[in-house]
């Protein structure tokens, strides 16, 4: 994330640190060794700087604009599950009483678990962290994009689709999404059925979409195309796969109303990353508040 030059007051840093500690405990509590879950096969990805298309919706001069390309550096090294969490993996959490049962029959044990909300995935990550004694979490959208490598699909609209005319923009988007839907193989395959990418990760941009921890963002760009201001909605999360999408985190919570009372998507699962960054929770809070460098001060 580019340096902003904005100093974070000492009191603000103290508050953020306290929140980070609280969130860290909520995310998994003190790790304890256990034999409830086998250790996953992890792929180690080196720290790297790369260009990343920002997620969210952006405007410039109050007109729709393509999301900016950002130079992002991942730190520290990233360790990601080689495969998506399977139905068998998730059922261990259900059996331990720490995950909600699936709304319908689970897929075969060697298929990715689907029909899980973001909150279900978070509950699994907390249980899995306690069961293994190692902290795990959902990846950020930036991390997922880097890990996907050549499988990551840039979601900028085709030429003419990012113009100022909202009607034209939506027509281009509709045509693109229709073409995507026609090309999708809707059959849920066993793990590895969509091959391996250059990073050694299975089924990136194949089989199912995956939850990330990243929140939906609306931003305004300045004349140079940089993000001048942004608002964050963590009730909607970024999902990645064949392309990027945005889905409410509460789709299984009937109290939320709307789409939450329907059947959760049959194409949405997740994989986890090992959390090697003790400042991760603090950094995420700082970013959400517009204090991008809070953890570096």
Q: Label residue 34 by pLDDT band (50, 70, 90).
A: very low
- Digit-coded pLDDT (tens) for 187-220: 788 888 889 999 999 999 888 999 999 999 999 9
Residue 136 has pLDDT above 80, yes or no: yes
Which range is least confidently modeled, 45-49, 246-250, 278-282? Answer: 278-282
Contacts of residues 5-14 at CB distance under 8 Å and 24 or more positions apart, as own/partner, are 6/291, 6/292, 6/293, 7/297, 8/286, 8/291, 8/293, 8/294, 8/297, 12/291, 12/294, 13/294, 13/297
* Cβ-Cβ contacts under 8 Å for 83 (sequence gap 6 or more): 40, 41, 112, 191, 192, 201, 202, 203, 271
Residue 262 has pLDDT above 70, yes or no: no
Q: Label residue 295 by pLDDT band (50, 70, 90).
A: very low
Check residues 64 and 294 and name the one with the higher pLDDT: 64
Tell me the CA end-to-end span of the chain in Å, nearest whole number. 14
**pLDDT for position 111:** 92
Which residue ranges form the domains of the chain, and what is each CATH number?
33-156+189-277 (3.90.1580.10)
Q: Does residue 154 contact residue 58 with C-beta atoms inside 8 Å?
A: no
Check residues 99 and 162 and name the one with the higher pLDDT: 99
**pLDDT for position 107:** 79
Locate all alpha helices (DSSP H) within 133-216, ordered by sequence: 141-148, 166-183
Q: What percent of the chain has pLDDT over 70?
A: 66
Residue 260's φ and ψ, nearest 5 degrees, are -65, -20
**pLDDT for position 81:** 97
Residue 60 has pLDDT above 50, yes or no: yes
Q: Label residue 32 by pLDDT band (50, 70, 90).
A: very low
Q: Label residue 291 by pLDDT band (50, 70, 90).
A: low
- Taking 3-state DSSP, the helix, strand and coil percentages for the chain, each rounded to the nearest 5, stand at 30, 20, 45
Mean pLDDT of 39-44: 94
Residue 271 has pLDDT above 90, yes or no: yes
pTM: 0.75
Mean pLDDT of the residues in the chain:
77
Q: Label residue 1 by pLDDT band (50, 70, 90).
A: very low
**pLDDT for position 260:** 47
**pLDDT for position 167:** 58
**pLDDT for position 205:** 82
**pLDDT for position 181:** 52
**pLDDT for position 142:** 94
**pLDDT for position 285:** 57
Residue 147 has pLDDT above 90, yes or no: yes
- Digit-coded pLDDT (tens) for 69-124: 999 998 788 999 999 999 999 999 999 999 999 877 777 888 999 989 999 999 99
Residue 190 Cα to chain centre, angstroms? 22
Between CA 113 and CA 203 the distance in angstroms is 13
């Amino acid at each position: 994330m580019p340096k902003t030059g904005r100093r974070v007051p000492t009191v603000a840093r103290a508050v953020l640190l306290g929140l980070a500690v609280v969130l860290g405990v909520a995310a998994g509590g003190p790790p304890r060794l256990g034999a409830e879950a086998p250790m996953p096969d992890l792929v180690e990805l080196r720290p790297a700087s790369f260009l990343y298309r920002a997620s969210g919706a952006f405007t410039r001069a109050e007109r729709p604009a393509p999301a900016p390309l950002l130079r992002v550096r991942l730190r520290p090294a990233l360790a990601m599950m080689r495969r998506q969490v399977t139905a068998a993996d998730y059922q261990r959490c259900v059996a331990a009483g720490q995950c909600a049962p699936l709304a319908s029959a689970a897929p075969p044990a060697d298929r990715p678990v689907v029909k899980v909300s973001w909150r279900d995935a978070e509950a699994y990550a907390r249980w899995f962290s306690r069961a293994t004694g190692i902290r795990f979490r959902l990846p950020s959208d930036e991390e997922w994009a880097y890990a996907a490598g050549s499988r990551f699909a840039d979601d900028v609209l085709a030429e003419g689709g990012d113009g100022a005319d909202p009607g034209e923009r939506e027509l281009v988007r509709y045509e693109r999404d229709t073409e995507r839907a026609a090309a999708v193989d809707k059959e849920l395959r066993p793990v590895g059925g969509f091959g391996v990418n250059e990073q050694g990760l299975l089924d990136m941009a194949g089989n199912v979409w995956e939850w990330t921890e990243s929140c939906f963002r609306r931003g305004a760009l300045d004349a140079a195309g940089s993000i001048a201001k942004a608002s964050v909605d963590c009730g909607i999360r970024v999902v990645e796969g064949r392309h990027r999408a945005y889905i409410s985190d509460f789709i299984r919570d009937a109290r939320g109303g709307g789409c939450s009372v329907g059947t959760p998507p049959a194409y949405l699962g997740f994989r986890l990353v090992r959390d090697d960054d003790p400042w991760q929770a603090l950094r995420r809070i700082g970013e959400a508040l517009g204090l991008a460098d809070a953890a570096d001060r």
